[in-house]
Amino acid sequence: MGVLYLTYFTILGLIFGSFFNVVGQRVPKNEMLKESRSYCPKCGYKLNWLDLYPVLSYITLKGKCRNCKTSISPLYPIVEATTGFLFAYSFIRFGFSAELIVALLFTSLLVIITVTDLTYMLIPNVILLFFLPLLIIGRIVSPLDPWWDSLAGGATGLVLTAIIIIASRGGMGGGDMKLFGVIGIVLGLPGVLLAFFLSTLYGSLISGVLLLFKKIDRKKPVPFGPYIVLGALTSYFFKAPIIDWYLHLF
């Protein structure tokens, strides 16, 4: 029975991941309701049902548009596969519990933010405002211990990022600050501090490697959102063992 549910959540994640690609690409351009079917940005070819299988379509099309053979961004299948994995992993961790709802909502928010920030260097308010009430309800149904840890976490997320924005003058933006506020509500105070530390760690490590291999330009701004997402996910799923390990160092 476990395998059946696991397959179910993986497929659910793949389908939602495909939808999150569309949301992440369209919401910043206000195109969400404009055209119901996805199309190739190069030749305008409207994708039919054969092109819309998550991950599988990308593999069978060898990453190219069926019509004009323009390369399709690997971001699409990566987002689909990652969402499939995150949904399945959330089920493994929490089973059928109230926390599973929080996990599915939280991972969904983080995946969409990754798409918008990588594509447009933007964390749209609409996305944050859509998930904020849902996550607050999630944290009421599945509260942290103590329950007010959500309030402390949210406030700390906002204040901490605000200080960094003022001190670094452009390292992070207002979108990052609001995102950290939402992340704090889900993770609580220790969790948001860990997420904050991990995002800056991931940011410096990964952008260091990318600079080394000249994959990014030192002078151009890089989106920080994906590092926040990585830090938040690590903290959400592995907060307890990491903090435990850290405390045993002394």
Summarize as ranges the residues that interact with Zn ion (CB under 5 A): 40, 42-43, 45, 65, 67-68, 70
Distance (Å, rounded) from C-alpha 164 to C-alpha 224? Answer: 13
- Cβ nearer to Zn ion, comparing 73 with 207: 73
What SS3 class is residue 65? Answer: coil
- Cβ nearer to Zn ion, comparing 67 with 142: 67
CB of 39 to Zn ion, least distance (A): 8
CB of 58 to Zn ion, least distance (A): 14
CA atoms within 13 A on the CB side of 158: 9
Asked, as a colleague might, if the bond just before 190 is cis with ω within 30 of 0, I would say no
- Cβ nearer to Zn ion, comparing 35 with 217: 35
CB of 122 to Zn ion, least distance (A): 25
- Cβ nearer to Zn ion, comparing 45 with 120: 45
120 C-beta neighbours (distance < 10 Å), count: 15
Q: Residue 39 gets which letter from DSSP?
A: B
- Cβ nearer to Zn ion, comparing 45 with 85: 45
Token pair 């701004």: residue: 221
What are the strands, taking DSSP E only, across the chain? none
CB of 72 to Zn ion, least distance (A): 9
Q: Residue 223 gets which letter from DSSP?
A: -
CB of 43 to Zn ion, least distance (A): 3
Token pair 């990491």: residue: 242
Listed residue (223, 211, 154, 161) closest to 188, CA to CA: 154
